């Protein structure tokens, strides 16, 4: 059987199962007696094994099998959960993830047998069972047994058909009531010497991928004939809205036995009861009716076949995909149809010869199109949104491992996992967050003894909070550790020569903390030891800035530190203010702009020989964009147009020559070749085809 088309489903589900295993193992570690958890783990491991086996990933299957053995013994209370076991199991999960990654990359599981993990597992199993029979053999015989059971089961069920059929037939007929057009189809088929059967298929109750099995049944039957009816409906079967059995009717040329065999060939099918459908008492009527039926049948087939086949990957390497709510797609579809109507409106105006009327109608249509494109933008953005959960759900495991490694007690508290972010941001945000968590665990939290001495609870707490704030999503990584010792950072910075003594004296605490994000700081091993911060923070900052966000630190000595990441909700399209500098045009993202001021030249003050203005109680430094961007400045006007922008609490006034206006712009990258000027975050194409650069306000403030 060609399984490549199920690869995507397999990968999705394997990920889900691994996540479940990870989560549940964490629970199990804390509550070794929790039966629900053990059952949950067992189920996940079992279906993982089954799936890997079906897909032909033998190594993966073998490892899961041995893990499952352990779970099985735990479940039947023959052995206890010990820390060492949990460690090995986690290692096993990591190895499984390794297999999955290999499959993602190349389509096969790779060469690593992970023999050591398997040995460890078996050893623990033996120890746990007090040196019982050598486990490996047992495992093997078990495997053989299950296989035997499988074949036996198949035979048994075949036998069962004969005996049970009578009992089941009445039930079946109840289950399948045919609509009129279906009856007609049946009658027609019968007239054409086709066989019409109905079957009730029972799936083993241990089966987890019920809908997948059902799909395989349908798939196999489609090869033999046409499935005209199923109970529950194909849609419900797809959504797994059925119990362990479903019924269907098929029109085919094959014999009853052949059909039955086809169904039983699908694994994890317990039984199949099959019978002939009596010719309904409907005369074969006009052909038009007939075609309708056929179309219906086709449609049904399509809807049933569509989902898996559209997900099927032609290559083993899997495309990145987003699961999209069908309603969101409907919204999109509606908007697109509206767009087409609007376009037709424009066309009809164009063909209308009366010019005066044209003008007003034209404007109307433009407004209409504007509305639609705005909604379209919002809808597409919604489709791209993914809950942050998919990134953060692996962190509890990370913290657990760190806790073991660093020998510190700590606990991770997460909130706001449902907060949604753009898919591209989600993909990129994982590493920086992991970095910050590591930082918090390693440098932020004090050692157990130190915490006790300070009168803090022995177990350190790390918080990961996500929430939406206006047009931004805020992610906060907080610990209740020692906090950043600003003085030490200051001294180290002077020692390292990053800043001079004089500078150090004038720098505020927050400026000093900002030094931690400097690349030179991250490499300085000593500083990270003393200050407890700074390893690779520049990488985090760069990453977050490349996503259009920014990062801030709040710290209180002895009470902890929090890193606050702000990310824009949307990436691709923003509102911007277009400004003119000399002959060039630049875009300033509207999100950064506070106000626009007209300032007489005489109002400029000088503070430390920098130009500043005094505006409503705050002193705002001026940035001459012309100078910063190497544009020739022509100075003759009395008043300056100043765009006041802000980044966090900081403000700055950007001096521009002219304002053009507000515009919705599409952000494009300027590529990697040009030595990226930090001040430019990208480019956009204006209505006339000209390219305008987008200013990155964060670096200018």
Partner 1 sequence: MNENNETKDTKQYIVVKLQNEFYAIDIKYINNIVKMQRITRVPKAQKYFKGVINLRGEIIPVMSLRIRFDLEADEFTNKSRILIIKPDNQGVFGIIVDEVKEVVNISDEEIDKVSYDGNVDEKVQFITGVGRLGDNLVSIMNIVGVITDKDKDKE
Select from 148, 156, 556, 677 the one that contacts partner 1 (CB under 8 A): 677
127 or 584: whose CB is closer to partner 1? 584
452 or 677: whose CB is closer to partner 1? 677
Could you say whether residue 691 binds partner 1 (CB under 8 A)?
yes
Could you say whether residue 283 binds partner 1 (CB under 8 A)?
no
Select from 455, 617, 661, 689 the one that contacts partner 1 (CB under 8 A): 689
523 or 669: whose CB is closer to partner 1? 669
Q: Which part of the chain contacts partner 1 (CB under 8 A), choosing from 189-197, 318-326, 505-513, 682-690?
A: 682-690
Tell me how far, at minimum, the Cβ of 696 lies from partner 1, in Å: 12
Tell me how far, at minimum, the Cβ of 370 lies from partner 1, in Å: 20
Tell me how far, at minimum, the Cβ of 670 lies from partner 1, in Å: 5
Could you say whether residue 683 binds partner 1 (CB under 8 A)?
yes
Q: Closest Cα to residue 159, out of 266, 276, 267, 260?
A: 260
Which secondary-structure segment (H or E) carries 612?
strand 610-615
Residue list 128-187, contact with partner 1 (CB under 8 A): none
Tokens in use for 655? Answer: 């001096």
Which class for 94: exposed (0-12), middle (13-18), buried (19 or more C-beta within 10 A)?
middle
Tokens in use for 31? Answer: 């509550």
Tell me how far, at minimum, the Cβ of 88 lies from partner 1, in Å: 41
Q: Residue 690 contacts by C-beta under 8 Å, 6 or more apart in sequence?
A: 585
What distance in Å separates the CA atoms of residue 379 and residue 386, rounded to the nearest whole number? 13
Binding mask 629-668 for partner 1 (x = CB under 8 A): xxx------------------------------------x
337 or 658: whose CB is closer to partner 1? 658
Residue list 580-599, contact with partner 1 (CB under 8 A): 584
Q: Which residues pair with 666 in a beta bridge?
A: 573
Tell me how far, at minimum, the Cβ of 625 lies from partner 1, in Å: 10
> Are 25 and 93 within 8 A, CB to CB?
yes
E strands of 648-687, at which residues?
650-656, 658-666, 680-685
- Compute how many other C-beta atoms are within 10 angstroms of the C-beta atom of residue 634: 9
Select from 26, 313, 434, 628 the one that contacts partner 1 (CB under 8 A): 628
Which class for 488: exposed (0-12), middle (13-18), buried (19 or more C-beta within 10 A)?
middle
Binding residues with partner 1: total (CB under 8 A): 23
438 or 585: whose CB is closer to partner 1? 585
Select from 256, 383, 564, 670 the one that contacts partner 1 (CB under 8 A): 670
Which secondary-structure segment (H or E) carries 639?
strand 639-647
DSSP state of 598: E
What is the Cα 93 distance to its own chain's centre? 20
What distance in Å separates the CA atoms of residue 233 and residue 522, rounded to the nearest whole number? 60
317 or 333: whose CB is closer to partner 1? 317
Select from 339, 375, 679, 699 the one that contacts partner 1 (CB under 8 A): 679
Tokens in use for 585? Answer: 């045009």
Residues acting as catalytic residues = 46, 68, 439
End-to-end CA separation in angstroms for the chain = 61
Tell me how far, at minimum, the Cβ of 681 lies from partner 1, in Å: 12
Residues at the site binding partner 1, with contacts judged by CB under 8 A = 584, 628-631, 668-675, 677, 679-680, 683, 685, 689-693
């Amino acid at each position: 059987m060609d399984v490549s088309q199920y690869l995507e489903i397999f990968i999705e589900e394997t990920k889900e199962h691994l996540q479940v295993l990870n989560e549940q193992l964490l629970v199990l570690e804390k509550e070794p007696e929790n039966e629900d958890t053990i059952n949950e783990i067992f189920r996940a491991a079992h279906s993982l094994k089954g799936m890997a086996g079906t897909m032909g990933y033998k190594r993966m299957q073998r490892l899961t099998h041995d893990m499952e053995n352990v779970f099985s013994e735990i479940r039947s209370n023959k052995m206890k959960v010990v820390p060492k076991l949990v460690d090995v199991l986690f290692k096993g999960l990591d190895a499984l993830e390794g297999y999955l990654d290999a499959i993602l990359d190349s389509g096969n599981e790779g060469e690593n047998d992970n023999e050591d993990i398997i040995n460890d597992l078996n050893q623990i199993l033996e120890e746990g069972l007090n040196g019982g029979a050598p486990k490996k053999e047992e495992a093997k015989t078990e495997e053989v047994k299950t296989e035997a059971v499988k074949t036996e089961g198949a035979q048994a069920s075949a036998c069962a058909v004969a005996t049970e059929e009578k009992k089941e037939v009445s039930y079946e007929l109840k289950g399948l009531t045919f609509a009129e057009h279906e009856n007609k189809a049946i009658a027609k088929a019968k007239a054409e010497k086709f066989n019409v059967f109905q079957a009730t298929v029972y799936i083993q109750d241990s089966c987890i991928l019920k809908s997948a099995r059902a799909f395989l049944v349908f798939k196999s039957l489609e090869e033999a004939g046409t499935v005209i009816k199923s109970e529950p409906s194909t849609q419900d079967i797809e959504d797994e809205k059925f119990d362990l059995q479903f019924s269907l009717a098929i029109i085919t040329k094959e014999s009853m036995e052949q059909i039955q065999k086809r169904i039983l060939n699908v694994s994890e099918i317990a039984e199949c009861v099959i019978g002939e459908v009596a010719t309904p008492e409907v005369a074969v009527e006009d052909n038009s009716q007939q075609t309708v039926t056929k179309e219906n049948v086709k449609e049904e087939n399509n809807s049933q076949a569509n989902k898996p086949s559209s997900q099927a990957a032609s290559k083993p390497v899997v495309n990145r995909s987003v699961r999209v709510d069908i309603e969101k797609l409907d919204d999109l579809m509606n908007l697109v149809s509206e767009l087409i109507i609007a376009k037709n409106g424009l066309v009809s105006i164009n063909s209308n010869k009366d010019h005066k009327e044209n003008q007003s109608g034209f404007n109307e249509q433009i407004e209409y199109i504007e509305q639609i494109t705005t909604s379209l933008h919002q809808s597409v953005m919604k489709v791209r949104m993914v809950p942050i959960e998919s990134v953060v759900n692996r962190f509890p495991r990370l913290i657990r491992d760190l806790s073991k490694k660093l020998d510190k007690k700590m606990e991770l508290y997460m909130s706001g996992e449902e907060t949604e972010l753009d898919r591209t941001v989600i993909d990129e945000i994982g590493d920086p967050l992991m970095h910050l968590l590591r930082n918090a665990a390693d440098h932020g939290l004090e050692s157990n003894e130190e915490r006790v001495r300070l009168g803090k609870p022995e177990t350190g707490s790390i918080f990961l909070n996500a929430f939406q704030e206006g047009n931004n999503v805020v992610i906060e990584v907080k610990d209740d550790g020692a906090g950043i010792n600003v003085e030490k950072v200051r001294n180290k910075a002077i020692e390292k020569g990053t800043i001079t003594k004089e500078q150090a004296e004038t720098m505020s605490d927050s400026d000093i903390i900002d030094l931690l994000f400097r690349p030179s700081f991250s490499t300085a091993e000593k500083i990270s030891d003393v200050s407890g911060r700074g390893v690779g923070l520049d990488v985090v900052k760069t990453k977050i800035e490349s996503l259009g966000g920014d990062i801030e630190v709040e710290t209180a000595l002895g009470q902890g530190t929090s890193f606050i990441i702000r990310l824009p909700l949307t990436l691709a399209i923003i509102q911007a203010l277009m400004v003119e500098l000399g002959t060039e045009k630049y875009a300033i993202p509207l999100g950064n702009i506070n106000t626009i001021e007209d300032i007489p030249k005489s109002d400029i003050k000088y503070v430390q020989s920098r130009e500043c203005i005094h505006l409503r109680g705050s002193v705002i430094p001026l940035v001459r964009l012309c100078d910063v961007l190497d544009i020739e400045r022509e100075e003759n006007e009395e008043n300056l147009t100043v765009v006041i922008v802000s980044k966090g609490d900081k403000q700055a006034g950007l001096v521009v020559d002219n304002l053009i206006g507000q515009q919705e712009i599409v952000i494009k990258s300027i590529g990697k070749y040009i030595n990226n000027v930090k001040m430019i975050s990208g480019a956009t194409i204006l209505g006339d085809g000209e390219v305008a650069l987008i200013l990155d306000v964060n670096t200018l403030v």
